[in-house]
Each structure stands twice: as C-alpha cells, then as structure tokens.
C-alpha cells in the first residue's frame, strides 16, 4: 500500500492533523534555513543595538577632514587669479597687436 492510498484511507481528522504537522515541518525547515542564510550574509556591524554608551571625544576616523576643504579653497583662489591674469594678458596682447596693425594700415593710406 502506497503512502498516498494510506493517506486517502485515513479518517479526515487524522489526515488534517498529519497535514498540519507536515506544514509546520516545512515552515520550520524553511524558516531555520532562511535565518541561517541571513546570519551568514549579515555584515558585521559595530552599531550599538542594545544600549548607547556616551564618549567624550569623537574618534579621528569619524571626523570630517579639514585638509581637502583647505586645499580646495586655496586652489580655487590661485586658479581664479592665474586664469584671470592669463586671460587679461592674452586680451591685451591681441588688442595691442590689432592696434599696431590698424596704425600701420592707417599710415600706409
């Protein structure tokens, strides 16, 4: 007699009880597997979950570094000045060259 025929021959309450046990077994297996997988995948965290402990000083690694802001500010200042000086010299050189050319043309006529 196969398992199926034996199940069919069982009375309805017994069948329901067995189905419930089977369902619980499947859920427990799946749940424990999921929990194991979750434990394996969860990144190690240092964030406090049970209690918060105060400290007086922030660790150096947690502080916003000042040097990049300082370097960026000085770079912007130097960059803006040098670009403007270069542009001014270039414009002046062009206008003076055009002026010389125009004076030469005016003198030739």
Binding interface with another protein (CB under 8 A): 64, 66-67, 69-70, 72-74, 76-78, 80-81, 84-85, 88-89, 91-92, 95-96, 98-99, 102-103, 105-106
Nearest CB to another protein, comparing residues 20 and 99: 99
Q: How far is the CB of 108 from another protein (least distance, A)?
A: 11
Nearest CB to another protein, comparing residues 47 and 106: 106
CA dist 103 and 11 (Å) reads 119
Q: How far is the CB of 59 from another protein (least distance, A)?
A: 16
Q: How far is the CB of 100 from another protein (least distance, A)?
A: 10
Nearest CB to another protein, comparing residues 15 and 103: 103
Q: Which residues are CB-contacts of 18 (< 8 A; sequence separation ≥ 6)? A: 7, 10
Scan for tokens 């402990």, then name that residue.
53
CA dist 109 and 78 (Å) reads 47
CA dist 74 and 86 (Å) reads 18
């Amino acid at each position: 007699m196969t398992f199926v025929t034996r199940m069919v021959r069982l009375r309805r309450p017994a069948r329901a009880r067995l189905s419930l046990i089977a369902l619980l077994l499947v859920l427990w297996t799946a749940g424990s597997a999921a929990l194991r997988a979750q434990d394996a995948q969860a990144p190690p965290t240092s964030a406090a979950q049970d209690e918060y402990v105060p400290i007086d000083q922030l660790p150096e690694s947690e502080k916003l570094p000042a040097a990049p802001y300082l370097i960026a500010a000085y770079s912007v200042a130097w960059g803006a000045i040098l670009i403007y000086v270069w542009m001014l010299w270039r414009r002046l050189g062009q206008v003076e060259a055009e002026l010389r050319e125009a004076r030469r043309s005016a003198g030739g006529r």
